[in-house]
Amino acid sequence: MDNEILKALRQRRSVRAYKSEQITDEELKAVLEAGTYAPTGMNYQDPWIVAVQNPDIIAKLVRMNAAVMGTDTNPYYDAPTIVLVFASNPEKWANGIPDASLVLGNMMNAAHSIGLGSCWINREREMFATDEGRYLMREFGLPDGLIGVGSIALGYSAKPLPPARPRKENYYRIIK
């Protein structure tokens, strides 16, 4: 069985080299809107999405993430846009992290479908648990009690997408 969505899912790759050119507002809004249509437990719509294109804030995010990672390289691969996703603390809403993960996945697939590159980036939980991170969350206008779940680096790929690596044997099972 095949269709455009299944093809796009097979062709999407994580992009780790971006052009410096900023994506258009229309492209950004399409990706963000796709995130809002991710399924959430009981349609609670718990995740919060923050797109950052401000170079000064991006520099802070790069520094914070690199510190958690223990490196001085750019964990966002010089992407011109970083999209952060937050959720309620699991003690408040158990589905927060899974729901936010689906938001991130929807946005990455949407990005690919319109010709953008993306890569899931981790360490937002640690970044936004710091005083600096909590301060930024307030600056973003987010409510108290959220945790960072993840982010995507977003932009135009600077390199062609590589072919898919082979899928592992017995990746799935069908039990009838």
**Taking Cα atoms as reference points, which of 54, 50, 82, 51 lies closest to residue 66?**
82
Q: How confident is the model at residue 40 (pLDDT cuts 50, 70, 90)?
A: very high
pTM check: above 0.85: yes
Q: What pLDDT was estimated at residue 77? A: 98
**Which class for 176: exposed (0-12), middle (13-18), buried (19 or more C-beta within 10 A)?**
exposed
**Taking Cα atoms as reference points, which of 17, 35, 46 lies closest to residue 117?**
17
d(C-alpha 104, C-alpha 3), whole Å: 22
In this structure, how many other beta carbons lie within 10 angstroms of the beta carbon of residue 68? 17
d(C-alpha 126, C-alpha 91), whole Å: 17
> Per-residue pLDDT tens for 77-98?
999 999 999 999 999 999 999 9
Q: What pLDDT was estimated at residue 21? A: 98
Once rounded to an integer, what is the mean pLDDT over residues 20-36?
98
> Per-residue pLDDT tens for 125-149?
999 999 999 999 999 999 999 999 9
Amino acid at 124: E
In this structure, how many other beta carbons lie within 10 angstroms of the beta carbon of residue 14? 15
> Per-residue pLDDT tens for 103-113?
999 999 999 99
**Taking Cα atoms as reference points, which of 4, 3, 1, 18 lies closest to residue 161?**
18
Q: How confident is the model at residue 49 (pLDDT cuts 50, 70, 90)?
A: very high
Sheet-wide strand order for 117-121: 48-52, 81-88, 146-155, 117-121
φ, ψ for residue 169 (rounded to 5)?
A: -70, 145
- Give the mean pLDDT of the chain: 97
> Per-residue pLDDT tens for 147-176?
999 999 999 999 999 999 999 999 999 999
Q: What pLDDT was estimated at residue 143? A: 96
In this structure, how many other beta carbons lie within 10 angstroms of the beta carbon of residue 1? 3
Q: How confident is the model at residue 99 (pLDDT cuts 50, 70, 90)?
A: very high
Share of the chain above pLDDT 90, in %: 100
Q: Which domains does the chain have, with CATH numbers?
A: 12-155 (3.40.109.10)
